[in-house]
Amino acid sequence: MAMSPERGFIGVPAYEAVPDFCGRCHIGVKEDYLLSAHGQAIAEGGANCVTCHGNHVVVKAGPEIINPEDCSQCHGYGQAGEIKAAIVKTDEMLASLAENLGFMGKKGIAVKSMESETFALRNDFRRLFHSVNVEKISNETADFQQRGMAIQQKIDAVQTELDQRKLIGGVVTGLLVLASLICFLIRKTYQQEEDGSS
């Protein structure tokens, strides 16, 4: 039943048509893939989307998808290893930004714009992977790191402001407690004087 055309099954795309199928949603990635060594070699059996990402159990994009076991099925791991080395640090930084923003969002801090910025940056960076071009990736990774650091600076500024608010709140609370204590002592002293004069 799942493969019934009446139920909307369109069939499995031909090997060379897989990038067009996936590219219906992943438009920018499709363009980068088609310009890459993988995309240029698809007619000769070069890697298509499902070669690396799978079809039903889709493997999430990330540095871990680049590994000796999978890459060595078609070619040596040398260039793939260089690509992975070039992207790991930046990808970890982007994942850390997303995690920090998620944590801040759970605390009720307005981080929507920074989350959107981080999401777009991470998507652009993942597009870079698909170029399969060591030189391009190495050259452009520094720009992604700078853009990520700019977001981190915004996060740090928000955290600094929160820390300052906590400090000010603590000082104000301490002063209020001290003022209450002084009022209590003045009142107690006044009552003792009244009791003593009666």
Indicate the helix (H) or strand (E) that contains 140: helix 134-197
Q: pLDDT confidence of 153, banded at 50, 70, 90?
A: very high
Reported residue count of the chain is 198
Per-residue pLDDT tens for 24-49? 888 788 888 888 889 888 998 888 88
What is the structure's pLDDT at 198? 61
Give me the pLDDT at residue 99, please.
93
Q: How many CA atoms lie within 13 A of 41 on its CB side?
A: 10
DSSP at 36: S
- Predicted confidence at residue 156, as pLDDT, reads 92
3-class secondary-structure state, position 107: coil
Q: What is the mean pLDDT of the chain?
A: 88
Q: Where are the domains of the chain?
A: 1-59, 64-163
150: helix, strand or coil: helix
In this structure, are residues 98 and 115 in contact, taking their beta carbons and an 8 Å threshold? yes
Does the pLDDT value for residue 7 go beyond 80?
no
C-alpha distance across the termini of the chain, in Å: 98
The 10s digit of each residue's pLDDT in 91-141 is 999 999 999 999 999 988 899 999 999 999 988 888 888 888 888 888 888
CA distance 125 to 117: 12
**Amino acid 97: pLDDT:** 94
* pLDDT at residue 165, as a whole number: 87
